[in-house]
Amino acid sequence: MEIDPTLAVLLVTQSPDAVIFADSDGLVRVWNDAAATLFGFTAEQALGQSLDLIVPERFRDAHWTGFRRALGDGDTKYRGQALATRAVKQDGSTIYVELSFAIVHGEDRAVIGALAHARDITERFLREREERRQREAAAGGA
What proportion of the chain, given as a percentage, has pLDDT over 90? 89
Count CA atoms within 13 Å of residue 134 on its CB side. Answer: 6
Mean pLDDT of all residues in the chain? 95
pLDDT in the model for residue 53: 97
**Is the Cβ–Cβ distance between 17 and 68 less than 8 Å?**
no
Domain map of the chain by residue range? 5-140
pLDDT in the model for residue 37: 98
Q: How confident is the model at residue 140 (pLDDT cuts 50, 70, 90)?
A: confident
Tell me the whole-structure pTM to 2 decimals.
0.89
Residue 141 has pLDDT above 70, yes or no: no
What's the mean pLDDT in 42-56?
Answer: 98
**Helix or strand run (H / E) with residue 103:** strand 94-105
**pLDDT tens-digit readout, 89-119:** 999 999 999 999 999 999 999 999 999 999 9
* Range 5-140 classified under CATH 3.40.50.150: no
What proportion of the chain, given as a percentage, has pLDDT over 70? 98
**Is the Cβ–Cβ distance between 67 and 94 less than 8 Å?**
no
By CB neighbour count within 10 A (0-12 exposed, 13-18 middle, 19+ buried), where does 66 fall? middle
